[in-house]
Structure 1
């Protein structure tokens, strides 16, 4: 929405980064509580499958940078604020009606959905998964409402609450599961209590989504940009513009998440694979989520304002800036996760019923996820450029291709690498998608400085490899010098090695004299001086 004063990209990134960091830290505590209570046992495995569709809808529809958020920001950023409330209420009414039908279908056919996702489950895990799935099905409605809330608040230049609100969901799970574990201890995995544990985990997940929506709704009402009013004004100006982006973007992102189903289909035949993928994926998504919100949230409105041909030169600069920032933030994390996957899993999860055997299962999966961090986020950056250009069809078409490509790669790679193969397949899909997106943008924007970009990223890749080797060497040296017995020594070894890797990587970046790195340093210093 057009306002008299627009926040700068740096200001938005700072707000989003801090709020998202807080949410992700609380989310990490949530995963630690779940891991301590259930390990990689029946409840955790069942939940990994039961949460696939409800969680997919929450991420797809309700997430920052999701299609609902992207569609509303791209449309409302070009309109006056007085037009917002009626349009948002009309979109909310339409979306809620559709998602209520989806919820009923999910509840009635829960068993069939679980069998479709994971045909290889044993009877105990299947029964728990079906019950959890039915409990969490209403998240479909709240996912849509939360996504609309994200887009509405961001378009009105509000970033703090939307970025912070996911912690509400995490807190409910921490309180519910943590409370149950407090009373039952490791008996929570006793056959007599397993079903109860599964119910508590599912109920708190649902309540967390409701709480997140309520918080956003209060903020929307106070800002005067939306209320509880039902509005059936299907001829409302702007509705077609929203749907023009929202529908293909939803389908496109949905097709991308079908790859998750494909992965879990194969994972259901591997012991405890789903739980291992869940824990490892969350560790990777903690920094990815923070950085993606810092990069994508402030850049999407900027992309949207530079879509006219006379502004394409500036658009190209912003695309480069967002991609280089992605590389500067993701590559060092990749180096750390690849070099220190086992120590990271040990220090994060090894407590309660999550022991060394579980770490040995999860660590190789974390290593695989670490290799693909840049490609995951960079692909999302390029997709948002197409959304800003008002083109949701191109990402949708590519996502359809990705479904078949992912299934083929899963089938090939799972034979040689088992659980890691499923992650390698996803990385392959993201790499190929990036190549296609860049090729199409190069044609559409009358050329991109691809050779210049290739040179920059080649050096960043080399810097990442060198940093990873140094990270491993530092950690092994410290472990040899004073051991790693106890949490304190493990934390010191991990922290020193990680800081060393990041410092070495940034030194490479400094030698390149990247303007993005200089900008990053200046903003950090400015924040520290305040």
Structure 2
């Protein structure tokens, strides 16, 4: 099998598994929206999830620093060397994260006051801000639920490290299905938890007096999902000889030290991005009705991250080992071609999706979420935030492609330094944009930071790799952006026609309007992209044609 076919096969496995996980993730979010809307339960959850939940994303996520470091080192090792390395890294990481977990539980309330100080306003300060008694009561309820949820989810710190190490080991052994599909198990536990809550409470599930119970169920089911993600990977690890639960204190082993050398700065670098998320929520806690604002950010974020997550895994997971094998100077021409492949494929996929999500944000939000506790005004707020997220989808994934190039070059310090500078830039933009634009301003601040990061990384790689064809890549990206804008305009026109003809009320009507407008927009972009004769487009069309003809 050729290398290209191998990459295509890996991408196909990752795409199918990730798609299933994202579909169940969407079901989970729909269930949360139907049960809690934009009220204090889900608003509190977004604040409580900042530290334990983002540790799961940071350390346990595919393409996270643990995953990247493990893959980079183990892919160069013999099979018999892998188990001791994995066991040594696991022993070290679990020892550290157990202490972190104890600290999170012991200092839950002060930690939450750092995450969301706006939730801890005194009655006098709230009155000076012009906050009504009802709004202040909701604020207090949101704070109490968030502290409770934070304590429950604290053990996710340990689970995050275990999941990330396991996923990296499995990918290094060319096992991609289980790591890509594992988030599905987390979504299933939340769905089961909410299903049990709905069965127990019935119509009372939206009653404010049961908000604490609802918050506890949401937190416990989220923790159970993280535990299940780790448990399901153990049999595959043991069967493949990738280490067991045996403690091993071989911290001076050269391979273990190499993993730590890559993992340490990479974790701090990725952690800087999570500090940006904390910064966003820090400022969001001061928005009037903060629970609704952060809930809308959560709902809109999932809609944007669903295609972004699928395509991120499809593009990055197969390319990371390839980047690692092309770091010698004599291989730089091939490395540059792979960087182009990653960036142009990112533009080819993300730009049209961004354009369509911007013009179709309202019907998307209504179709996905608007039922039971989720009201029409919640849909409009979520749609507005979704437009802001959609603007930055290309730069978000493009920056991740470049970060993986630095990891392959065993340079995790450069992304780390850029991330440190971005913390201050993000805080400044948040401060400037939150008052005039609210939640939308916070999202746009993040988009600006990602754009600047991507441009800086391109400039550094241009110098380090002795020149990149930046003008050519920029021109191609601009053309794809033009085609995406054309597709978005056509989709908007089709949507207006459908609403004039069919109306815009009822789930079925909304779904038909959305499918027609989105489908026509994609066809327009597909026609435009094929006219460009890009190798990335031609390869994609060729693979589809071959599969169709074989069938």
TM-score over 0.5 (shorter chain): yes
Given that 1:111 and 1:130 are in contact with CA atoms closer than 8 Å, whether structure 2 keeps it comes out as: yes
Given that 2:352 and 2:481 are in contact with CA atoms closer than 8 Å, whether structure 1 keeps it comes out as: no
Given that 2:250 and 2:256 are in contact with CA atoms closer than 8 Å, whether structure 1 keeps it comes out as: no
Matching residue of 2:48: 50
TM-score for the superposition, normalised by structure 1: 0.98
Structure 1 residue 7 displacement after superposition: 7.5
Q: How does 1:222-371 map to 2 (within 5 A)?
A: 222-270=239-287, 271=289, 272-371=292-391
Distance 1:176 1:328 in 2: 39
Matching residue of 2:154: 137
Matching residue of 2:471: 451
Distance 2:113 2:61 in 1: 27
* Runs of 5+ consecutive residues of structure 1 not aligned to the other structure: none
Distance 1:450 1:193 in 2: 57
2:164 is aligned, of 140, 147, 151, to 147
Distance 1:526 1:77 in 2: 31
Matching residue of 2:123: none
Distance 2:59 2:542 in 1: 35
* Secondary structure of the corresponding residue to residue 87 of structure 1: helix
Q: Which sits farther off after the overlay, 488-497 or 176-185?
A: 176-185
Matching residue of 1:93: 91
Distance 2:74 2:437 in 1: 46
Distance change in 2, residues 1:206/1:527 (3 Å): farther
Matching residue of 1:497: 517
1:419 corresponds to 2:476:
no
2:237 is aligned, of 215, 220, 245, to 220
Structure 1 residue 496 displacement after superposition: 1.3
Distance 1:44 1:222 in 2: 39
Matching residue of 2:129: none
Distance 2:166 2:537 in 1: 33
* Secondary structure of the corresponding residue to residue 248 of structure 2: coil
Distance 1:5 1:85 in 2: 27
Distance change in 2, residues 1:469/1:390 (3 Å): same
Distance 2:286 2:383 in 1: 19
User: 1:124-182 deviations in whole A, cap 9, x for unaligned?
Assistant: 11111001000000000000100001100000000011101110000000010122123
Question: Aligned residues, how many?
Answer: 528
User: 1:443-477 deviations in whole A, cap 9, x for unaligned?
Assistant: 00000011111110111111111111111111111
Distance 1:521 1:83 in 2: 41
Structure 1 residue 18 displacement after superposition: 0.3
1:200 corresponds to 2:217:
yes
Structure 1 residue 82 displacement after superposition: 1.2
User: 1:258-277 deviations in whole A, cap 9, x for unaligned?
Assistant: 01011001111222111110
Q: How does 1:99-178 map to 2 (within 5 A)?
A: 99-121=97-119, 122-178=139-195
Matching residue of 1:26: 24
1:508 is aligned, of 500, 511, 528, to 528
User: 1:36-94 deviations in whole A, cap 9, x for unaligned?
Assistant: 00000010100010011111100000000000000011111111111111100100000
Considering only aligned residues, what root-mean-square deviation do their CA atoms show, in Å?
1.5
Q: Which sits farther off after the overlay, 326-335 or 228-237?
A: 228-237
* Runs of 5+ consecutive residues of structure 2 not aligned to the other structure: 120-138
User: 1:331-385 deviations in whole A, cap 9, x for unaligned?
Assistant: 1110111001110000000111001011121110001001100011000010000
Distance 1:516 1:421 in 2: 35
Structure 1 residue 5 displacement after superposition: 9.9
Given that 1:24 and 1:286 are in contact with CA atoms closer than 8 Å, whether structure 2 keeps it comes out as: yes
Distance change in 2, residues 1:7/1:301 (3 Å): farther
Distance change in 2, residues 1:365/1:510 (3 Å): same
Structure 1 residue 241 displacement after superposition: 1.2
Structure 1 residue 504 displacement after superposition: 1.2
Structure 1 residue 419 displacement after superposition: 1.1
1:399 corresponds to 2:419:
yes
Distance change in 2, residues 1:33/1:448 (3 Å): same
Q: Which sits farther off after the overlay, 466-475 or 56-65?
A: 466-475
